[in-house]
């Protein structure tokens, strides 16, 4: 018997992204400081049409999933989680998260959302490995990933040039047995 809500935790839940979410998301994707945490490409604000296309592409894709991250208490959209680049044959995929507004950061929502996304990846999609990259200057994200149990697997040394300085991009990965062992210890 299934005992847990697959996509809902105590404080946050993962839901479909819809066109109704675009006005909220548009504000996040105009914040150049946030954009510089998410992508190695130059910070370029997204348009309403660009966000609509992004959501639509995920809805049609067979190798990616895009979730809205909402508060359970009032259904407020606070972020997004993306599982993409899934290689079904190898049971691997890439994970990314964004918490859009600063007031929703450092409250444990990101950690809970990542756990939900990993549960979905490992138990629903039957993935074996989930990986992600993070820029060396994103200390908050690095601390989160390591706390969840991701292993630092490699470094793309000085691959990013921002504000006249070189920065590393770090590769993290977690395997299903590692995640399951950590979940068992937490109980």
The one-digit pLDDT tens for each residue of the chain (187 residues) are 445 688 999 999 999 999 899 999 999 988 888 888 888 887 788 889 989 999 999 889 999 999 999 999 999 999 999 999 999 999 999 999 999 988 999 999 999 999 999 999 999 999 999 999 999 999 999 999 999 999 999 999 999 999 999 999 999 999 999 999 998 888 7
**Domain positions in the chain:** 12-186
State which fold the 12-186 domain adopts.
Aminopeptidase (3.40.630)
User: Could you tell me how many residues make up the chain?
Assistant: 187
Q: Which residues are tagged catalytic?
A: 145
pTM to 2 decimal places: 0.93
Nearest to 96 by CA among 79, 108, 112, 109: 79
pLDDT of residue 126: 97
Non-local (6+) Cβ contacts of 40 within 8 A are 135, 159, 160, 169
pLDDT of residue 76: 96
| Segment holding 151, helix H or strand E | strand 151-162
């Amino acid at each position: 018997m299934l005992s847990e809500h697959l996509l809902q935790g105590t404080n946050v839940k993962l839901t479909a992204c819809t066109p109704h979410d675009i006005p909220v998301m548009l504000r996040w994707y105009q914040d150049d400081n946030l954009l510089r945490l998410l992508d190695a490409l130059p910070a370029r604000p997204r348009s309403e049409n660009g966000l609509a296309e992004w959501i639509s592409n995920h809805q049609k894709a067979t190798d990616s999933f895009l979730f809205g991250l909402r508060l359970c208490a009032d259904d407020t959209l606070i972020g997004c989680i993306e599982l993409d680049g899934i290689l079904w044959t190898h049971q691997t995929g890439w994970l990314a998260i964004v918490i859009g507004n600063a007031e929703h950061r450092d409250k444990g929502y990101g950690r809970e959302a990542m756990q939900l996304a990993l549960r979905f990846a490992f138990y629903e999609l039957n993935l074996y490995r989930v990986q992600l990259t993070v820029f060396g200057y994103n200390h908050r994200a690095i601390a989160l990933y390591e706390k969840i149990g991701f292993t630092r697997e490699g470094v793309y040394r000085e691959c990013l040039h921002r504000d006249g300085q070189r920065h590393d991009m770090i590769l993290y990965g977690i395997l299903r047995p590692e995640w399951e062992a950590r979940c068992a210890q937490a109980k």
